Structure 1
């Protein structure tokens, strides 16, 4: 399949993923009556369901990366042409920003905004590294045809066992800077998240390589994705 169609798939898939994460966060916060745990649960369930569907839909088109860290690992492994890495990342970042704007439009919020929600600290950086390492390990070790439910399930679990609620995705961190909502992250906090995510991706790849290889069969698409969100109790 030609590169423009793959890039369109990455941009559209990432946009819809961010619309799911941010939109469900807005709805959850409005309906939860101040109960952050209930809002996070609703945000989690919506993201798990949306992520699973998006991976299934866009996997055969672009691989459903939706995540620059994932694309970088796939390029390193030779499963994505290195010349396609930068276009993939650009498509994912643009899609993430558009997804945030789409969520705002659906809820009659100002389209252009920046988050004031500070998310920082050693615990959250470690959590992002752990979440991203786990995500890459699941992607690389998943049996053929089972990546979509496994990735979605891992992200759902990581919402709750990580202090950062598992962004695990530089594009997600970028897109959420443009939303001053439940799912947002302050621009000043994003670099720490992105650096932790890239470190986590490298750790996940190293762990995979240290284990017995389990390669995808020829012709099996790299069906992968990422991102979770919410308001952790540690914030």
Structure 2
């Protein structure tokens, strides 16, 4: 039995297949580069925030000046980096934004890794100065309530200004101001972490790693609570790049 001959393939079919594969590869490469750029912005922003804030502690600044330093560092980081990555510079913020739909799920791990690395680098450069610890007269229960409350307040203020503002300039000054005010009033009690990365770097380098789970859980809980309130009021957003 004779087999029918296969019709000759188009001379362009192989080239078209190659082009299609190349195009898909190029799109993936651009996507990876874009994510790398965003993650690097988070690294730089968190490094700057921890470096300036904890640097003021290393210089022996009074409490009010330390609060201003952290607030100003957050403001400048948002001004410079918000158009690139959103300038979360805080894993709790990134987790809350993922929950509310402001951050795509696949970006969460690169963001958090970059934030922790930035904080750790800054802390290493400063020798571990500026760790967060509960004051001697503050119980674990009180510290838990404080960190959840202030992180909720910070995240709620971020959601509020994101809804109300049309420019990242006003967001930068508003969020930086919120950080400074909360740090000033609650810093003497718990160190006013509000940020797992801010605690992670100095506490790892300074030898206080055992308190990292406490600050991570309380700050994330506060931020997620704010996210749930946002979702109840405004609904969940579609993730934006």
State TM-score, norm by structure 2. 0.73
**Offset of residue 187 of structure 1:** 1.4
> Could you say which structure has the higher helix fraction?
2
Q: 1:153 to 1:3 in 2, by over 3 A?
A: same
Matches of 1:117 and 1:192 in 2, distance apart? Answer: 11
Q: 1:75 to 1:99 in 2, by over 3 A?
A: same
Structure 1 runs, 4 residues or longer, greater than 4 Å off: 113-118
Contact in 1 for aligned 2:58/2:129 (Cα 8 Å): no
Matches of 1:159 and 1:69 in 2, distance apart? Answer: 16
Q: 1:53 to 1:118 in 2, by over 3 A?
A: closer
String of CA shifts for 1:110-129, please: whole Å, max 9, x gaps: x4x58887436221221110
Q: Of 227, 230, 235, which residue of structure 2 is paired with 1:205?
A: 227
In structure 2, list runs of 5 or more residues that go unmatched: 1-32
Question: Helix, strand or coil for the counterpart of 2:190?
Answer: coil
Instruction: Write out aligned runs for 1:193-232 (5 A).
Output: 193-211=215-233, 213=234
Matches of 1:55 and 1:117 in 2, distance apart? Answer: 23
Matches of 1:98 and 1:135 in 2, distance apart? Answer: 25
* Structure 2 residue aligned with 1:95: 118
State TM-score, norm by structure 1. 0.75
Question: Larger Cα Rg: Structure 1 or Structure 2?
Answer: 2
Q: 1:114 to 1:165 in 2, by over 3 A?
A: closer
Contact in 2 for aligned 1:68/1:170 (Cα 8 Å): yes
Matches of 1:26 and 1:114 in 2, distance apart? Answer: 6
* Structure 2 residue aligned with 1:20: 52
1:2 to 2:34 alignment: yes
Q: 1:117 to 1:67 in 2, by over 3 A?
A: closer
Matches of 1:130 and 1:19 in 2, distance apart? Answer: 25
In structure 1, list runs of 5 or more residues that go unmatched: 30-38, 105-110, 222-235
Larger mean Cα displacement after TM superposition, 162-171 or 149-158? 162-171
Matches of 2:42 and 2:235 in 1, distance apart? Answer: 25
* Structure 2 residue aligned with 1:124: 143
Q: Of 63, 72, 97, which residue of structure 2 is paired with 1:40?
A: 63
String of CA shifts for 1:62-115, please: whole Å, max 9, x gaps: 10001111111222223222111111111110111001123x2xxxxxx4x588
RMSD, aligned CA:
2.6
**Offset of residue 24 of structure 1:** 0.6
